[in-house]
């Protein structure tokens, strides 16, 4: 079985990726690689950050690897929080504070259009490949649902029957989500290599 390092220690993302990839590739986490450092992600674009993380792992460990970066871009806020989605309101990953900040900034704003974008950067045999997934929708005026994470409870996808991501199960969300789409593009590419 071929091994690829996924530049993350997020158990949820690893689980999801291992399920989609199946038995053809063994997905190794950063911890399993023996890497316990904070990898720099200081670029000003999602693609820049994804590439920076994958490049860092490749430079330090010389392995085939991939990384991902996700952001929520809100049209009325000129694309914010975007690349700053994780730390929009505070320095930590405080989703409740992030949601409160977005809802405050959108108070009284009619245009609620927004989209999530995930970029995956893969370095395979020393070559860089990138994959993108997007989902379009709008930001509600209050939270709906308790599932998911991040901004899920205020994001209503255009393709939904009226439920936010936080009201869907993981499979329903993955079928239309930014990360699901980017991941399937990565997996489709990997399957052409066999």
Judged by the rule CB under 6 A, the positions of this chain that interact with ligand IMP are: 69-72, 85-86, 93, 95, 98, 148-152, 165, 177, 179
For residue 194, the minimal CB distance to ligand IMP (Å) is 28
At its nearest, how many Å lie between ligand IMP and the CB of residue 64? 21
The distance of closest approach from Cβ of residue 1 to ligand IMP in the complex, given in angstroms and rounded to an integer, is 26
Taking the least distance from each CB to ligand IMP, the nearer of 76 and 134 is 134
CA 123 from chain centre, in angstroms, equals: 18
- Residue 21's Cβ-side half-sphere holds a number of Cα atoms within 13 Å equal to 23
Burial 1-17 (b: 16+ CB within 10 A, else e): eeebbbbbeeeebbebb
Backbone angles phi, psi at 8, to 5 degrees: -155, 160
Q: What is the DSSP letter of 76?
A: G
CB 39 within 8 A of CB 56: yes
Of the residues 15, 23, 38, 69, which is catalytic?
69
Shortest Cβ 98–ligand IMP spacing (Å): 6
Beta bridge partners of 139: 155
| Residue number, 146 or 192, with CB nearest to ligand IMP | 146
**Contact at 8 Å (CB) between 106 and 139?**
yes
In the bound complex, which residue of the shown chain has the CB atom lying closest to ligand IMP? 150
When the beta carbons of 7 and 72 are compared against ligand IMP, the nearer one is: 72
CB of 91 or CB of 194, closer to ligand IMP:
91
Q: Are 149 and 95 in contact (CB under 8 A)?
A: yes
Q: Is 94 a catalytic residue?
A: no
Q: Which residues are catalytic?
A: 69
């Amino acid at each position: 079985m071929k091994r690829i390092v996924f530049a993350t220690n997020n158990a949820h993302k690893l689980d999801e990726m291992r399920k989609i990839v199946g038995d053809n590739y063994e997905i190794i986490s950063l911890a399993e690689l023996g890497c316990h450092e904070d990898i720099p992600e200081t670029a000003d674009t999602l693609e820049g950050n994804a590439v920076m993380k994958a490049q860092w792992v490749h430079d330090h460990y010389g392995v085939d690897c991939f990384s991902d970066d996700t952001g929520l871009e809100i049209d009325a806020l000129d694309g914010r929080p975007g690349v700053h989605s994780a730390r929009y309101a505070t320095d930590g990953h405080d989703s409740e504070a992030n949601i409160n900040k977005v809802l405050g900034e959108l108070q009284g704003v009619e245009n609620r259009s927004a989209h999530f974008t995930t970029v995956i950067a893969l370095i395979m045999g020393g070559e860089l490949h990138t994959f993108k997934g997007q989902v379009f929708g709008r930001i509600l005026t209050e939270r709906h649902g308790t599932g998911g994470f991040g901004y899920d409870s205020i994001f209503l996808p255009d393709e939904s029957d009226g439920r936010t991501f936080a009201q869907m199960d993981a499979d329903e969300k993955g079928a239309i989500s930014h990360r699901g789409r980017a991941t399937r593009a990565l997996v489709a590419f990997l399957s052409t290599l066999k």
